Amino acid sequence: MQTQQAPDFTRLAIPVAIIFFSWGLGTGALWVARPLFALALGGTLLQVGFVSALSATPRPIFGPITGVLCDRWGRRPMLVLAAIGHGGVLVAQFYSTSYLQFVLLEGLAGISIALWTISSSVLIADITKIASRGRAVAFRDTAMRMGMLAGPLVGGFIAAQFELRWVFIFIASTKVVALYVVLVIIPETRPARAGHEPAGRSGAVRTASRGIPWGMFRSRSFVAIAAATLCFGMVGLGPGLFRTYFPVHAQETLMLGPDVIGNLVAVGAVLTLLTAAPTGFAVDRFGRKWPLVFGLVLLGASVYLLGVSAAFIGVAMAFAVFAVAEGMNSNTMQTYAMDLAPPEQRGVFLSAFHVATSVGMIVGPLIAGLLAGLLGLETTLVIFTGVVGGCALLFVVLARETLRREPDSVAARTGSSS
């Protein structure tokens, strides 16, 4: 465990890009392989959806556990465990011969993904400084999204040239690349724990507490970012409301075919990728708060446009606005949470941030489906527009700006004191 100042991000930029590009490449290929392989093993359409949902279910449970272990054992052990665990599960899935085997292994994969998500976020927070953190997070996101764009192409090619199950071997190989870089290049970045606190008035030396300082979760800023990321998870991430119901609305209202819908999604992915870098520069120059608010406003606008649009141009514009909002919110929310996280409790703090995201991804589509059944999809989308607007207003009222703060050494000690 190193005791000196964390290494500068610029010296680790290339290794970080390799790690996240490799992980994103595997994720993109998995988007192709997971549903098709579940179907090939005899799963119904409902069971295919269950497999996708199952991969996200362990995150609210194992995310906080990972955060605690990151703070106690270090970041590298958790990254190594995540890469080995997910790679091993993928190899086992290659040998799966039944749907039950595959779905049980997918649950184990979800645990490894939770380990990776938290520990990699803590690593980025460790090796970045507040003044340039937005650009560093944008660089990380760009590398990963490039991999996620290339992954489906590579996965589709392998599935076409060989058997579908060989895609899992390819995905496992991307974990080997990430594992090698972590073991050989990435240093341990966990701040050294002080063994004792200064002596009190009595002269006795008190042992430093290893407990979780729950007060950092009672700050107004944490409440604001937790609400914002919960809202973003419900609407804009993974299987959130927008991605779940955009194809349904486009097909039922406009009679668009799967090819047109797929092309809109692909264009949106490119727009999200192109948004990451400018957003990173913006949050380092103008601060985190107002770009984040603007991103939430765009997110709400995209949901509203989708709900009221009855023509192709409106639906296309809705997805374009959504893509830009996704790129902005992903960057600014992570950067803001990293700014707030106290160095010695970064794992615990950032795991709580990711739990809010995961819970939103789980409950968002469920609540939307319930409301759509009662009130109709268009009315449901308008309601969620109001929810996003309320989260934006809450952030304006409660959140403080984290860019213009004391120097890093002081800010690190006061990250949760607002």
Is pLDDT above 80 for 75?
yes
Q: How far apart are CA 190 and CA 75, in angstroms?
A: 6
Q: Which two tokens stand for residue 60?
A: 């609210």
CB 398 within 8 A of CB 220: yes
Give the number of C-alpha atoms closer than 13 A to the C-alpha of residue 370, restricted to the C-beta side: 4
Q: Kindly report, residue by residue over 101-115, the tens digit of the pLDDT.
A: 998 998 899 899 989
pLDDT value of position 239: 63
Integer angstrom CA distances of residue 162 from 72, 93, 366: 44, 16, 37
The region of weakest confidence among 142-156, 191-205, 351-365 is 191-205
pLDDT value of position 6: 53
Strand residues in 198-274 grouped as ranges (E): none
What is the per-residue burial (b if ≥16 Cβ within 10 Å, else e) of 242-261? bbbbbeebbeebbebeeebb
Cβ neighbours of residue 166 closer than 8 Å, sequence gap 6 or more: 94, 158, 159
pLDDT value of position 81: 95
pLDDT value of position 333: 94
Q: Kindly report, residue by residue over 392-414, the tens digit of the pLDDT.
A: 999 999 999 998 654 444 444 44
170 closest CA partner among 6, 33, 361? 33
Q: Kindly report, residue by residue over 229-278, the tens digit of the pLDDT.
A: 999 988 887 667 787 777 777 777 777 776 677 677 778 888 988 998 99
Q: How far apart are CA 250 and CA 306, in angstroms?
A: 9
Q: Which two tokens stand for residue 77?
A: 């052990």
Sign of the alpha-carbon torsion through 295, 296, 301, 302: positive
Is pLDDT above 50 for 319?
yes
Average pLDDT, the chain: 83
Q: How far apart are CA 163 and CA 96, in angstroms?
A: 13
Is pLDDT above 60 for 323?
yes
Is pLDDT above 50 for 314?
yes
Residue type, 281: F
CB 279 within 8 A of CB 145: no
The region of weakest confidence among 181-185, 293-297, 374-378, 379-383 is 374-378
List the end-to-end C-alpha distance of the chain, in Å, as a whole number: 30
